Amino acid sequence: MKGIFAVLLMLGTYSLSYTQTVKKIGFGETDRDTYRFFIGQQWDSLIITGQQALEANVDYFYLRLRMGIAYYNLENYMLAAHHLNKALQFNHSDKTTKEYLYFANKLINRTENAAKIYGGFSKQIRKQVDPHKTSGYAILEVGQVFSNNIAKNDLKQQGRQAYYSEQDLYGDIFYRQAGAGVEIIPGISAYAGYNKLTIDKLREFRTSELVKTGDTGILVGNEIVQYNLYDTENQISSFPYKLYQDGLYLQAKLASVSGFLVSFAFHHLWIESTLWRAVPEAFYAQSFDTIPVNRFDIAESNLSLTNSVYSVAVNKPIRNFYPGFEASWSDLNYDEQYQLTGKLYWYPSGNLNSYLGAAVTWAGSGDEGNPVYHFIAGIKIMKPIWLEADITSGHMLNFNESNGYVVYNSGDVMKLKAGSNIFVTLSQRIEFFARYRILQYETERINLHPNGLTNIQKLTYNNHSIMGGIQWKF
């Protein structure tokens, strides 16, 4: 007990001493000590002294500048940007502050914010600060989606479950995308991308129709009446076909020196395909029948429609955190839907060496809505290579993400999406990336039974997506 009391007494004495120190620290001591630590490049000591001064309400330009440079040299670029922005509030024209803030933003991929700062330099200073600065980029990406949907849910492999069934299955998908982004003026950039999907599909109908199997005669009075004999035959009609989708994605970003980034996006899709419908036709099997029976004719027609997504996103870093908000409205497959997303990323070391992120999306249509959850983790495994892993779960029907850049408009419900990304910096201007995703879907089969009842049968399948591409900065 005496030992515990002694420890508590020591802690209490230290706490009181620390509190008194914080209260007593003033401008003179702060300026003297932080300058000494700055000249000696004692960055940790400078930061500790600076924090004590801020807690004692000592705050001025050179303190924030020195703390920003200290964090910059410790490669905590997010906290560096935080303090450098505070320094600019005291002296908004200081060249040194802006230079460090420019590179801090650039090193955490805040390209538009860095460009906004860069635009405030004179031509001579621009050449001194970053003579090789890029002002645009181009992306080329291709991919293939492998699906087990048709192999698993083909009607020909199912037993007879109903009098009538129909389904429309998605199969493999070939994807390609090309785009380019440019800086229009400092702090404002635009991106335009074209994407194309070629999708294998299978439309199937199971029908039960009367088939003549023979005839017989029955003696009625003095006459023999001839009757046909019928049986019900199960027939499956399968129609493999293609769906073609072309997309145009437009995005504009507006950045401020203080860190705000606002982006507006529009994604328009053109869809061309074939529509198959089973048209029932009532007929009498024999002239004296009083109850008609149905047979089905399969009608084919062309399908053309457009889909659209409008999205806006707002982000601003706060110390080592990166919160954001995103909202979108979409008209996909004649279904209007809105989405509201809140997201938060955490960079423990204040740079891109590691990060964790989470997002919650509320996706609604009419009076109905449901949440979608997303988690991501990334790490730099060596100098030119980064790895990411992410997972998304929820009821995702006609869903979009990444400021409307990615659209899932198949009409099937995605329940889970998980995968990984790899980014490899090949040079200062060229980056290679590859992505893998497994996506779990739920689709429907419509069954009609002889008693007239209809039920919707849920079918599940998995897609495996493999994509790769190159980004070139110019």
In the chain, the percentage of residues whose pLDDT exceeds 90 is 74
Which CATH number characterizes residue 123's domain?
Answer: 1.25.40.10
Both 361 and 342 in one domain: the answer is yes
The share of the chain scoring above pLDDT 70, in percent, equals 87
Q: Which residue has the higher pLDDT, 224 or 465?
A: 465
pLDDT score at 217: 66
Q: How far apart are CA 134 and CA 463, in angstroms?
A: 37
Report, as an integer, the average pLDDT of 212-238: 69
Mean pLDDT in residue range 439-449: 94
* Average pLDDT score over residue span 232-249: 91
pLDDT in tens, 44-94: 999 999 999 999 999 999 999 999 999 999 999 999 999 999 999 999 999
Residue 3 has pLDDT above 50, yes or no: no
User: Do 365 and 448 belong to one domain?
Assistant: yes
Pure H helices in 108-263? 111-118, 123-129, 149-153
Q: Are residues 334 and 469 in the same domain?
A: yes
Number of structural domains found in the chain? 2
Confidence class for position 235, pLDDT limits 50, 70, 90? confident
Q: Are residues 89 and 155 in the same domain?
A: no
pLDDT tens per residue, range 160-203: 667 789 999 999 999 999 999 999 999 999 999 999 999 999 99
When the pLDDT of each residue in the chain is averaged and rounded to a whole number, the result is 89
3-state secondary structure of 391: strand
Phi-psi region of 52 (alpha: psi -120 to 50; beta: other; left: phi over 0): alpha
The pTM of the full predicted model, rounded to 2 decimals, is 0.86
Note the pLDDT of residue 406. 97
pLDDT of amino acid 283: 65
Considering the domain architecture, whether residues 160 and 57 belong to the same structural domain is answered as no
| 331, burial (CB in 10 Å: exposed 0-12, middle 13-18, buried 19+) | middle
Are residues 62 and 199 both part of a single domain? no
Average pLDDT of the residues in 252-267: 96
Place of tokens 């919650």: 360
CATH of the domain at 467: 2.40.160.40
pLDDT category of residue 228 using cuts at 50, 70 and 90: low
Per-residue confidence (pLDDT) for residue 207, from 0 to 100: 84
Of the candidates 129, 157, 186, which is a domain's last residue?
Answer: 129
The whole-number pLDDT of residue 16 equals 39
Q: How many residues does the chain have?
A: 474
Same domain, 203 and 242: yes
More confident residue, 300 or 327: 327
Domain boundary among 129, 145, 177: 129
Question: Which of 129, 148, 182 is the C-terminal boundary of a domain?
Answer: 129
**Burial of residue 31 (number of CB atoms within 10 Å: 0-12, 13-18, 19+):** middle
List, in order, residues 6 or more apart from 390 with CB less than 8 Å away.
374, 375, 376, 377, 418, 419, 420, 421
| pLDDT tens for each residue of 102-148 | 999 999 999 999 999 999 998 888 888 888 888 899 999 999 999 99
395, 367 contact by CB (below 8 A): no
Task: Say if CB 430 and CB 104 are below 8 A apart.
Answer: no
Q: Are residues 383 and 463 in the same domain?
A: yes
147 and 121 assigned to the same domain: no
CA angle 198, 441, 267 (to 5 degrees): 50
pLDDT given for residue 248 in this prediction: 99
Are 274 and 408 in the same domain? yes
* Strand positions, DSSP E, 316-451: 321-332, 335-346, 354-365, 368-382, 385-396, 399-401, 406-408, 413-425, 430-448
Among 219-228, 254-263, 349-358, 447-456, name the one with the lowest average pLDDT.
Answer: 219-228
pLDDT greater than 70 at residue 241: yes
Structural domain boundaries, residue 426:
136-473
Residue 407 scores a pLDDT above 70: yes
pLDDT of residue 231: 58
pLDDT for the residue 450: 74
Q: Are residues 334 and 411 in the same domain?
A: yes
Does one domain contain both 297 and 395? yes
Confidence grade of residue 219 (pLDDT, cut at 50, 70, 90): low
In the chain, how many H helices and how many E strands? 9, 16
